[in-house]
Structure 1
Amino acid sequence: MATDAHGSTSGQSIDEPLSVESDDHLEDVTAEYDVVLVDFYADWCGPCQMLEPVLEGLADETDAVIAKVDVDEHQQLASAYGVRGVPTLVLFADGEQVEQHTGALSADRLRDLIERYTE
């Protein structure tokens, strides 16, 4: 069920969602890339499942890195970011948290958020 199909990264460009393995891994990702959209999700969450193809598309279409954090596996990490519901989307720009939204957002709204920080 919770198999990690996105565990491999290929070179510089990440054009598919990246699974976060630990607190340190998330810190490394947000420090290494200019714009990172972190999806705090759960496998049992319907809106999270609906958001999955949207995030996969954004990973491919935008300069942002899409990182995924399973809140059931990483409860302390979710708690550290004040995640109270899933999906929660946290946007980082230049290593700093700049946005946080709870609930599934449309592809256009997410693209606008990302583009605000990548231009």
Structure 2
Amino acid sequence: MPVRILCYYQEGCMGCMEQEPINRQVENELGVTIEEKDALEHPDDIAAYGLKVTPTILVIVDGAVRERFEGVMHRETLENAIKKYL
């Protein structure tokens, strides 16, 4: 069950800047990689995933979005969501 975690951001987004260190903490705690992608550089992803705000974090398992978080996520909430799929 391959798990992929994507975090879409935009340059200058205050929430995105707040989310970045939280993502690093989660990566270190769980030993996972959170891929960060500039939403504006990936217009196909905006359409495919219905992105409306940044930051948006998607937990994708076997190619399907299982968890979706819009806005800044607290570390504990994000960790608990990811742990379900590890």
Question: SS of 1:91's equivalent?
Answer: strand
Cα contact 1:40–1:78 (8 A) shared by 2: no
In structure 2, stretches of 5+ residues that fail to align are none
Structure with the higher fraction of residues in strand conformation: 2
Once the 2 structures are TM-superposed, how far is the Cα of residue 35 of structure 1 from its aligned partner?
Answer: 1.8
Which of 1 and 2 has greater Rg?
Answer: 1
Look up the match of 1:104.
Answer: 72
Aligned to 1:78: 46
Greater share of helix:
2
Larger RCO of the pair (alpha carbons < 8 Å, separation 6+): 2
Tell me, yes or no, if structure 1 residue 64 matches structure 2 residue 32.
Answer: yes
The percent of aligned pairs where both chains have the same amino acid is: 27
> What is the deviation of 1:43?
1.3
Deviations 1:18-52 (A, max 9, x none): xxxxxxxxxxxxxxx82221101111110000000
Distance in 2, matches of 1:72 and 1:95, equals 22
TM-score (norm 1): 0.66
> After TM superposition, where is structure 1 displaced by more than 6 Å over at least 4 residues in a row?
none
* TM-score, normalised by the number of residues in structure 2: 0.88
* Aligned length, in residue pairs: 86
When residues 81 and 100 of structure 1 are mapped into structure 2, their CA distance, relative to the original with a 3 A threshold, is same
Whole-angstrom distance in 1 between the partners of 2:62 and 2:44: 23
**RMSD of the alignment, in Å?**
1.5
